[in-house]
Amino acid sequence: MRGELHRPLGLDIGKEKRRRSPPAAAFAGLAVAIVLIGGSLASAFLGQPERSVVDMLAEPPASQAVAVVAAPQPVTAQKLPTIIRPPAEPAVGGVGFRVEEPVALRQPPGTAHLPDAALVEDSDFGPLPTRGPDGRRPFDVYAGASRGVPGTRIAIVVGGLGISQTGTMSAIRALPAAVTFGFSPAGNSLDRWMQESRRAGHELVLQVPLEPVGYPEIDPGPNTLTVADAAANDFGALHAVLATLTNYVGVMSYMGGRFTGDATAIEPLVAELGRRGLMFLDDASSMRSLAKDTAALQGVPFAAADLTIDRTQDAADIRRQLDTLEQIARAQGSAVGVASAFDVSINTIAGWIGEVQSRGIEIVPVSALANDPEGR
């Protein structure tokens, strides 16, 4: 047909006469022969039994055949693959990035209280958090669950857990799973309370004592990381703190007014946290903190408190602070509040959460509000 279409017009005139169409009977005989041959070949290749010409001719003509249409298959939404980026300085011979199927990196609830062996580095201090060989971070695996829908969101971090046994149990029983727990490295039975908290669905951060203004007269406690040690890349005190607990998404500054305002100290600390796949949560106790900008430059997950909820142990004042936190969240879309595990704080926060949720605000783990340059 292609040759017919491209032959120059008029060149075939007079070369041959138009052929007459063969009689209809010839076509009928040819059709029967094709059916016989086609049936035999199909039987040979597909293993189907042969049918007689009578059976074939008894079938309705093509014009009367009923078309069988396969039922439409449900359409499933396809998620884009996740690009996993390595640490800032990948190991020699490592790849620049890898692509994974879109699977959840978060631990299943049934095993959330167990450390992921691939995210643990053995050390003289004990188990230290680290990135896994496949690029997974503690920040990804130990993150708490949230709905991930658009809307106003608030994260509340209750710190000081582990110090008081009754206060820790009260927080676990009274506060919903979306509240993040901050454990003190000076607490007792931390592994037990970690497991109880994780079974209840809570995300965890570890409070790290950093050098405050006026140190050592003002002392945050044992294993305080000083400006001089961090500037010299001496992280012995930090590692001693990190090894007191497992299954946390990041660290939260405890005091540290001088430390977070000193570039020679905060920059190496943030780099060390990024290497280990941890978030830095700034308690916002210092207006001079350089942590936010440092974390952004180094590509490390970061969050900062907008408000301290319980500067006093007065229920009415705590309630006013919570209402202010709600106003901040409505104005900027989200907000982070920090508190301590005092009975009055826990009880006031628990009652307020039920009310604010009825007003359409979602309470989320703090990792859900963190700025994460790797963007899972």
Interval 81-117: pLDDT, tens: 333 344 444 443 343 444 443 347 999 999 999 999 9
When pLDDT is cut at 50, 70 and 90, the band that residue 53 belongs to is very low
Helix residue ranges per DSSP H, the chain: 2-6, 24-46, 53-58, 138-141, 165-174, 190-199, 227-231, 236-242, 257-260, 263-275, 291-298, 315-332, 343-358
Residue reference for tokens 């290749």 = 45
Quick one: tokens of 97?
Answer: 């990035």
> Can you give the pLDDT at residue 376?
56
**Integer angstrom CA distances of residue 37 from 28, 44, 50, 53, 59:** 14, 11, 11, 11, 17
Which residues have C-beta within 8 Å of that of residue 355, sequence separation ≥ 6? none
* pLDDT over threshold 90, residue 277: yes
* Domain range 82-369, its CATH number among 1.10.1840.10, 3.20.20.370, 2.40.40.20, 3.30.530.20: 3.20.20.370
Minimum mean pLDDT range among 81-90, 197-206, 228-237? 81-90
**Residue 21, Cβ neighbours under 10 Å: how many?**
8
Question: What's the CA angle centered on 324, arms 321 and 325, to 5 degrees?
Answer: 90
Minimum mean pLDDT range among 72-81, 265-274, 287-296? 72-81
> pLDDT exceeding 90 applies to what percent of the chain?
70
> Can you give the pLDDT at residue 2?
41
* pLDDT over threshold 90, residue 206: yes
When pLDDT is cut at 50, 70 and 90, the band that residue 355 belongs to is very high
- Domain map of the chain by residue range? 82-369
Q: Are 303 and 336 in contact (CB under 8 A)?
A: yes
**Integer angstrom CA distances of residue 364 from 107, 124, 130, 218:** 17, 35, 24, 33
Minimum mean pLDDT range among 73-87, 143-157, 251-265, 316-330? 73-87
Minimum mean pLDDT range among 10-14, 20-24, 323-327, 337-341? 10-14
> Can you give the pLDDT at residue 283?
94
> Can you give the pLDDT at residue 25?
41
DSSP letter, residue 360: T
> Can you give the pLDDT at residue 104?
78
* pLDDT over threshold 60, residue 38: no
Smallest CA-to-CA distance from 243 within 269, 283, 208 is with 208
